[in-house]
Structure 1
């Protein structure tokens, strides 16, 4: 039961900060900056709605992806599902960073969020200590080293024959 949850959380963990940072870069645009400032000033109940409505809005897109899988359009369904997951994670990560102070004013949220985060962090630490994770990390490092060596050889500038 924990394996699918761990996979889901690994994706979230991998994408949460970088995707939020991509959205944060949009704050350089005046209209976007104004929108973000407005979100940070929301009362707790409005912050909750602002955070959860985009998550709910993605549900029909994910259901459409499942329909496409069932209708034999696996590639299209997978692309739609992955796009929705990436976009949803990016939006929710940024919205959470903007609404977290207001959400923490809700007593139930302030009570349960730290518990959730502690549980999630502990699960992720267990995954990172696992033999499978360590093997994959080692393989990744070796592949990266070989790729960089390959690039140096293939794209090295020829020496001047003088």
Structure 2
């Protein structure tokens, strides 16, 4: 566990165990188990109020009772990545965009690959809905959380969006 992670909480979900980290003031990361494994499985849990709140809001999201999150997050990344994540945060439940549209909205047309890299590096998936981004053809080209495309498809279907992989 990184020395910058002060608090850690794991919570069950329909897409696998979720690991949340916090600096004590905000959520700093969210990881979805891949093959049943989380990044900090070897470290003990030490929760805090913001993580308890995040876990409760995630449970509400998965049960269909919540469509947006009211959790403070600290996003650490380059100015470009942070701008992408902030734009992702404005995507509403059940809505979609493409990497190209995301680039255009940020004033970076033609930056599809860089946009894709930033989307894939989102430190708090689900809370910031990076699963809502598709290729310009409308296809699901990948997902870095959980078990990849099946996890992304589950999240989209949970939000009422049905697509073919």
Global fold match (TM > 0.5)? no
- Indicate the structure with greater helix content: 1
TM-score normalised to structure 1 length: 0.27
- Higher relative contact order, structure no. (Cα contacts within 8 Å, ≥ 6 residues apart): 1
Larger-Rg structure: 1
TM-score normalised to structure 2 length: 0.27
